Amino acid sequence: MGKYRLIGELGRGGMADVYLAVAAGPAGFNKLLVIKQLRAFENPQLLTMFLDEARLAARLSHPNVVQTFEIVHDAQRAFIVMEYLDGPSLSRLRRVAKTKGSGKVQLAVELSIMSCALQGLHYAHELQNYDGTPLNVVHRDFTPQNLIITFDGDTKIVDFGIAKALDSQSHTTVGVFKGKLAYSPPEQFLGHAVDRRTDVFAAGVVLWEALTGTSPWQGMDSTVIVQALTTGDIPRLPRDAGIHPGLIEICEKAMAADPKARFSTADQMREALEKVIQSEKLSINRQQMGAYVESLLSDQRKKTRAVIDEQIRQISTLPSASFLAVAPLDTLTPSPMSVIAGKSMPSLLLSSSGARGPNSNSNSSVTPSTPPPLVNRDEGGARHVKALVLLALLALGLAGTGLFMWGRSSQTGVVAPAPIPAPPTPQLPLPTPTPTPTPPPEPAARPAPPEPTPPRPDVVEVRIRISPPHARVYLDGIELPSNPFDGSLPRDAKLHELRATASGFSGIRRGVQLDRDLSLEVNLERQPEPAPRPAPVAKPSKPEVVAPPSEKPAPKPPSEPEDPEYFKSKSGQKKQKRPLLRECPLPLQGSLHRHL
C-alpha cells in the first residue's frame, strides 16, 4: 500500500483488523506504524462509523492520546495510519504483575497512569470544532484495555472507535449498547443522554480495580450487574482494607449513580487525585514508570525485538513490488518469512481464518523478576530505558490486547536448493611394475560424469484475472494485492483455496494447485435483480346480453295520395264521394230560410 509494508497482524476488533507496518524512507530509514483497516468495506453503515472514528481521531493531538497520521479511503479499502506505541496495555500490565512481585501493579504506578489518562480524557472532552463549537466527545470505552503504557513511561488513550461526537454522521441505533458492561454507568441502561460524566464513571471503576485488585462487580453475572446499575445499587469500597480515605472518596464520587453527584469534569477528578498523590508522596516520573514496565516485560520485549528486526530485515531485501504473507505476530519467530512477489504495490492483507484474536492467551513462559522499588520524583536516579523496536500494542478496538507472546512460526522461508556439486574424478591406481618389458594396456578413459540436472524453479508464475475489475481476490484467506494479479508464488503440490467476491455479483470459491504455472480468468455472474411484482389482474366482466333485433314488418308500399272527392271501393274501384249536402242555388236557400 504505497509506502507502507505490513509486518504482521496484531489482532482483530469488532469491525477492523490491526496490523504492524513499516514505512521505509531514504538512507535505510524505517518507521514503525500501526494500520487499522476496515474489514467489511462494502457495508455502508460500518464504513460511515469507521470514517467517523477516523475524522475524530485525526483532530486529537495530545501527549496522552494516540496520534493519527493519515486516513486513506478509496474505491477498494479504508484504513487509518496511527502512532506506534511501544508498550503494553494496562490490562496486560496487571496480568503480568499478578505473576510477579506483590501480585498487583504498585499503587504509585496505578495512580500516575490514572492521572495522565484523565488529562488526555479531559482534552478530548474539551475538543472543539474548527469554528469553536464544542464537539462534546465521549469516549464510552475508557477501560484498562485502551490505556497503553510505553517503555518510555508515557500513558496514552487509544480506541475512539465508539466515541460519541456532535458532528458524527452516524447515530447510535436505538437499543444498541456501546461499551463494556463493567465500566458503564446507569444512564446507559436507562436510556438517558451520555456526556463526559459517563467517562468519569468508567475512570472510577478503573481506579477501584487499582485500589482493590478486583472488579466492583466481581462474581456477578450480567443480569445482576444491569439490575444494580438501573436501581442505583453501586458497590462501595471496603473501609477496612487499608485504603487511603481520600482515594475512597474520589472513587465513590466518580462512581455515583446520579451523574450530577460525580465530578463535573475529568480534570476535577485528576486534581483531587493529585492532592492525595502529593500528600502521600506517591509521585513518580516517566523514567521510573518506564523502568517498572521494563522490569515486568523485559523477557518478552527481547523476543519481540528479535522478531520485528528480522521482519524489517526481510522487507529491506525485497523489491518494492513484493509483499510478505502477513501472519499473526504471535506465531512468528526470527526465521525468514514466506514471500509473495508481485508486480503491483503491496496491499493490506486480510489474515487467515486461523489468526489469533486479541484475546488469545500465549503459552510462553515468563521468567519471574522482582520489580525495582520506586523512588519519589525528587530522588531521581532511575535509569532511562531507551525504547527498542517492539510489538505495536495499539489495540484500537481490541479488548485485552497487550504485549503479545511469541510462538514458533508455521511458515518457513522459500530456500532455493543448492546446486549439486560434481563428484570428484576418481584417481586410478598405478600398475604394479613387473619384469615383463611390455607395459600393461592403459585402461580406457572413464566417461565424464553427467552434468547435474539444474534445480527445478521453486516458484510458479501466477496470472489471475477476475471480472468485474473491482472484485477482491483471496488465496487461502489472504487478499492478493491487486486484480488482475501477475506474480510469482512458492511452488507446492497442495490444494489452495481461491476465492473472489464483488458487490452485486455472485462470488466464487475453487481449489487451485501451485505445482505449475497458473493462468486463470473468471467472470463473476451478476446477481439477478428482484423480479417486479406482477400487476393485479382485473376480473373479467360479464358480457352484456344484447337482445337480437326484432323483425320489423316490411314497410307498406307508398299509397297514392287520397283524392278528397274519390274513394276506393272494396273491389278496388275508384268511385266519387257523395257530398252530404249539396250546394243549392241561392233562391232555394232563401226559400228555405223562409220556411225555417
Residue at 200 is within a domain = yes
Residue at 252 is within a domain = yes
User: How many folded domains does the chain comprise?
Assistant: 3
Residue at 487 is within a domain = yes
Rg of the Cα trace of the chain?
A: 47
The domain of 481 spans 459-523
What's the pTM?
0.57
Query: 143 Cβ partners below 8 Å, 6+ apart?
Result: 91, 180, 183, 202, 206, 399
Residue at 387 is within a domain = no
Examine the domain organization and report whether 215 and 308 are in the same domain.
no
Q: Which stretches of 156-265 are DSSP H helices?
A: 187-190, 196-212, 222-230, 245-254
On the 0-12 / 13-18 / 19+ scale of CB atoms within 10 A, 270 is buried
Examine the domain organization and report whether 58 and 165 are in the same domain.
no
Q: Are 118 and 155 in contact (CB under 8 A)?
A: no
Whether the upstream peptide bond of residue 468 has omega within 30° of 0, thus cis, is: yes
Examine the domain organization and report whether 212 and 233 are in the same domain.
yes
* Cell output for 47: 464504513
Rama region for 586: left / alpha / beta (φ>0; ψ in -120 to 50; rest): alpha
pLDDT in tens, the chain (596 residues): 667 888 878 877 767 888 898 887 666 667 899 998 887 666 777 788 888 878 888 889 999 999 989 888 877 788 889 998 989 999 999 999 998 867 789 999 999 999 999 999 999 999 998 888 998 999 999 999 999 999 999 999 998 765 565 444 444 443 344 558 899 999 988 888 899 999 999 999 999 999 999 999 999 988 999 999 999 999 999 988 899 999 999 999 999 999 999 999 999 999 999 999 999 999 999 999 999 999 999 888 888 788 788 877 776 666 554 445 555 555 555 554 444 433 333 333 333 233 333 333 333 333 334 444 444 434 443 333 333 333 333 333 333 333 322 333 333 333 333 443 444 433 434 344 444 455 555 555 555 555 555 555 577 788 898 988 888 888 888 888 778 887 778 887 778 888 999 888 888 888 888 888 888 888 888 887 766 666 666 666 655 655 566 555 666 666 555 556 666 666 666 666 665 545 545 454 444 444 44
Residue at 539 is within a domain = no
In the chain, the largest separation of any two C-alpha atoms, in whole Å, equals: 219
Q: What are the CB-based long-range contacts (under 8 Å, 24+) for 410-415?
A: 410/327, 410/331, 411/325, 411/327, 411/337, 411/338, 412/335, 412/336, 412/338, 413/335, 413/336, 413/337, 413/338, 413/339, 414/338, 414/339, 414/458, 414/459, 414/490, 415/458
Q: What CATH number has the domain bearing residue 61?
A: 3.30.200.20
Examine the domain organization and report whether 44 and 128 are in the same domain.
no
Examine the domain organization and report whether 273 and 251 are in the same domain.
yes
Examine the domain organization and report whether 262 and 182 are in the same domain.
yes
Quick one: which of 278, 36, 30 has its CA closest to 160?
Answer: 36
Query: Where a domain ends, among 229, 254, 279?
Result: 279
For residue 274, what pLDDT is reported?
A: 98
Q: Are 189 and 230 in contact (CB under 8 A)?
A: yes
* Cell output for 442: 592403459
Examine the domain organization and report whether 104 and 74 are in the same domain.
no
> How many Å apart are CA 518 and CA 490, to the nearest integer?
12
Examine the domain organization and report whether 69 and 98 are in the same domain.
no
Going by the DSSP 8-state scheme, the letter that residue 489 receives in this structure is E
Examine the domain organization and report whether 56 and 139 are in the same domain.
no
Residue at 381 is within a domain = no
Examine the domain organization and report whether 194 and 152 are in the same domain.
yes
Examine the domain organization and report whether 105 and 241 are in the same domain.
yes
Count of positions (residues) in the chain: 596
Query: Where a domain ends, among 467, 495, 523?
Result: 523
Task: Tell how strand 472-475 and strand 147-149 pair up.
Answer: unpaired
Query: Where a domain ends, among 295, 322, 342?
Result: 342
> How many Å apart are CA 158 and CA 137, to the nearest integer?
14
Residue at 465 is within a domain = yes
Q: What CATH number has the domain bearing residue 242?
A: 1.10.510.10
For residue 307, what pLDDT is reported?
A: 79
Q: Are 231 and 252 in contact (CB under 8 A)?
A: no
Whose grid coordinates read 584417481? 427
Q: What CATH number has the domain bearing residue 512?
A: 2.60.40
Residue at 529 is within a domain = no
Examine the domain organization and report whether 156 and 303 are in the same domain.
no
For residue 425, what pLDDT is reported?
A: 38
